[in-house]
Amino acid sequence: MSDFFNSGWSIFVAAVTIVSLIACLALLIIAARRRVMANDNTTGHVWDEDLRELNNPLPRWWMWLFVLTVVFAAVYLTFYPGLGSSPGTLKWSSTGQWEAEQAKAKTAMEPIYAKYVSMSAEDLSKDAQAMGIGQRLFINNCAQCHGSDARGSKSFPNLTDDDWLWGGSHEKIIETLTKGRQGNMPPMAAAVGTGEDVRNVANYVLSLSGSAHNAVYAQLGKPKFAVCAACHGNDGKGNLALGAPNLTDKIWLHGYGEAAIAAMVNQGKMNIMPAQDKLLTPEQIHVLAAYVWQLSRSTAAVASR
């Protein structure tokens, strides 16, 4: 595929385009020189006994309309990109237009965001306008993975349940949005032991949250859990510094049950939260983080009633 990005293809595209425009003009000139035939001016084709096809030249207005389209194409290709890699005399590009529109929008929004910079997450969560802006930022940038209701799905965290892999404070959410996150659960089957050992560890993990499990297998798997404790802790409550999930809270990001846990031990898992600092300004991230922060607080407040 790299062959399609060398300069030869650009020259080829430009040459084909120019030759095509010249050929169109030549065809129009040839067609314009046609004259009405002196005799019956037919092509010899007859339908329904007396319906004859005439051999008339193109109407002048129609021909000049075609000429105008060719001239327009030539003018357009002079000013705008289209002849291979030529940027055109105006140097226009969709990227440049997008960047100009983004800069214009940023300038227009700066006064609005300025008053939010020094506000805490608690204060922002009480500001209806700030939360409205945060919601729109979330829909445009986060809902594709976490859902419009922020409840996530398999392998995409629920942001409303106050269960955080990397920490749920306003500062930690800002850090996550700005830098992104990369969670890596390496395949641990070789370290755990045999297939039966993996099964036993899976049942022990289920027992940590009081989920349905085989008690005999769980007791056999407890010593083997020492391999997992390096990240998840001896008590299985996880490690925010590593993004290691809490195994005691019945919240399963990648699937629930013995088979799902065994698959994680055998195959491992990598999850990536992309950094947003190239798409959002620090001020936007500040407001968006406050919106995400208050989602779990709102859910917790409702649950406590």
How, if at all, do strands 269-273 and 181-185 pair? antiparallel
How far is residue 250's CA from residue 212's CA, in Å, rounded to a whole number?
A: 11
Question: Domain boundaries in the chain?
Answer: 2-79, 100-178+280-303, 184-273
Q: What is the pLDDT of residues 4-28, one digit of tens each?
A: 566 788 888 899 999 999 999 898 8
Q: What's domain 184-273's architecture?
A: Orthogonal Bundle (1.10)
Q: What is the DSSP letter of 17?
A: H
What is the topology classification, in CATH, of domain 100-178+280-303? Cytochrome Bc1 Complex; Chain D, domain 2 (1.10.760)
Q: What is the pLDDT of residues 109-130, one digit of tens each?
A: 889 899 999 999 999 999 999 9
How far is residue 64's CA from residue 72's CA, in Å, rounded to a whole number?
A: 12
Supply the angle between the helices 170-179 and 282-303 in degrees, to the nearest 10. Answer: 130
Within this chain, domains 100-178+280-303 and 184-273 share the same CATH topology: yes
pLDDT score recorded for residue 20 = 94
How far is residue 62's CA from residue 225's CA, in Å, rounded to a whole number?
A: 82
For residue 150, count CB atoms less than 10 angstroms from its CB and return exposed for 0-12, middle for 13-18, buried for 19 or more.
buried
Note whether 208 and 236 are within 8 A (CB). Answer: yes
How far is residue 65's CA from residue 21's CA, in Å, rounded to a whole number?
A: 14
Q: What is the pLDDT of residues 248-303, one digit of tens each?
A: 999 999 998 999 999 999 999 999 999 999 989 999 999 999 999 999 886 654 44
